[in-house]
Amino acid sequence: MKAEKFKFKGDAKAKGKEIHKSIAALDGVKAVRVDSFANTVTVDYDENKISSSDIKSKLT
């Protein structure tokens, strides 16, 4: 299990729920925490099932 923080661009308040939903749906993701003030999302995931690049692809 790995925890990693990712930054994203845009209006976090508008995109926060969308980002949470799209990342949480990925196989191997255990937890998602969106910080709308810092424009970051922290993801706990199984690195044997999913890569950080797979998660980053959902942030654009």
For range 16-35, the mean pLDDT: 94
- The whole-number pLDDT of residue 33 equals 96
d(CA 43, CA 34): 9
pLDDT score of 12: 72
Convert the pLDDT of each residue in 27-56 to its tens digit. Answer: 999 999 999 889 999 999 999 999 999 999
Strands 40-45 and 2-7: what pairing?
Answer: antiparallel
Q: Look at the block and give the residue holding tokens 């845009």.
A: 10
**Ordered DSSP codes for 2-47:** EEEEEE--S-HHHHHHHHHHHHHTSTTEEEEEEETTTTEEEEEE-T
The structure tokens listed for 47 are 């690195």
pTM as predicted: 0.89
Q: What is the pLDDT of residue 13?
A: 74
Per the structure, the count of domains in the chain is 1
Residue 8: per-residue pLDDT: 87
The whole domain housing 23 covers 2-59
CATH code (residue 44)? 3.30.70.100
pLDDT at 40: 93
